[in-house]
Amino acid sequence: MTTARHVTLIGAPTDIGAGARGASMGPEALRVAGLAEALRAHGVDVLDRGNLAGPSNPWLPPTDGYRHLDEVTAWNRSVHDAVHAALGDGRMPILLGGDHCLGLGSISAVARHCRETGKKLRVLWLDAHADFNTSKLTPSGNIHGMPVACLCGHGPQQLIEIGGHIPAIDPKWIRQIGIRSVDEGEKRFVHEVGLEVFDMRYIDEMGMRHTMELALATMDANTHLHVSFDVDFLDPDIAPGVGTTIPGGPTYREAQLCMEMIADTGRMASLDVMELNPALDVRNKTALVAVDLIESLFGKSTLMRK
Ligand SMILES: [Mn+2]
């Protein structure tokens, strides 16, 4: 029951895959909100290796269904290498996004590490969106709506090959939670592939506790748990600082329970914190909520727990 006590913070300051500018400022907002200090207060050894570098955002319309494909590829390669290196050093990488297209680089690196070390992988995708678009299905061409499809081998060659294995992961390893916005064609594709999605209706009907029990079931001592936390997972009332707010997300209490139940497993071994957009935030409130929830992922609780 030990979540890693050695963490590496990796900043990826880009909004290259997003439909709104500003997530490029996310890493610094999380630092300003006191992420490293908060983790250290829980006894975690934190190494902030600063920000990765990559191409600037040319803000162009789509070409063949993709916006900024080459720049997205460059950023994801860089994220992949940094995340893979941190895991190789025996540390838990926390990727500070940046938009969610970078989940591809991060999770393909985690999957590579799991192949090399003989671990099983479970991916929790906390998000308002399924991020399962392809160039044929996408209405916008924004690649932050495509990383899960790419991880499952559906996407342009230069993206799907980043982790050195196609597909990088099996759809069966994924549990999506909090979903409430899926495009029409994307909806059919999610169904076809058989993604396990706990959408907001499921959470409304069954509650967050039951949802998380199922999402975290059948892991064992050899499972690497990766959490990809898109801040737009949260209800916009508590988290306005994202590019794509969708009403009707988990409340503060539901989100806390979600994070605490993940912490209780003791299996979280890598984390992405994505899509925080300080340009749309109110006095860094969303970054502060994100830090608060990350603390819960690291075992902060109201009382001593058995
Ligand atoms: Mn997302």
Whether residue 185 contacts residue 137, with contact meaning beta carbons closer than 8 Å, is answered with yes
> Token digits for 210?
């039951």
pLDDT at 303 (0 to 100): 78
- Is 6 known to sit in a ligand binding site? no
Q: Model-level pTM?
A: 0.97
Question: What is d(CA 19, CA 2) in angstroms, rounded to the nearest whole number?
Answer: 38
Is 131 annotated as ligand-binding? yes
What pLDDT score does 1 carry? 40
Chain center to CA of 181: 16
Torsional sign, CA 266, 273, 123, 176: positive
Residues with Cβ within 8 Å of 38's Cβ and at least 6 positions away in sequence, in order, are 291, 294, 295
pLDDT of residue 160: 98
**For the chain, how are helix, strand and coil distributed in percent, rounded to 5?**
40, 20, 40
Distance, CA of 291 to CA of 100 (rounded, Å)? 18
Query: What pLDDT score does 306 carry?
Result: 61
Distance in Å, CA 70 to ligand 1 centroid:
20
Residue 230 labelled as part of a binding site: yes
- In the chain the domains, ranked by start, together with CATH numbers, are 6-297 (3.40.800.10)
Query: Is 210 assigned to a binding site?
Result: no
In order along its 306 residues, the chain shows pLDDT tens digits of 445 689 999 999 999 999 999 999 999 999 999 999 999 999 999 999 999 999 999 999 999 999 999 999 999 999 999 999 999 999 999 999 999 999 999 999 999 999 999 999 999 999 999 999 999 998 899 999 999 999 999 999 999 999 999 999 999 999 999 999 999 999 999 999 999 999 999 999 999 999 999 999 999 999 999 999 999 999 999 999 999 999 999 999 999 999 999 999 999 999 999 999 999 999 999 999 999 999 999 999 877 766
Task: Please list the active-site residues.
Answer: 100, 127, 129, 131, 144, 230, 232, 275
Neighbours of ion ligand 1 (CB under 5 A): 100, 127, 131, 230
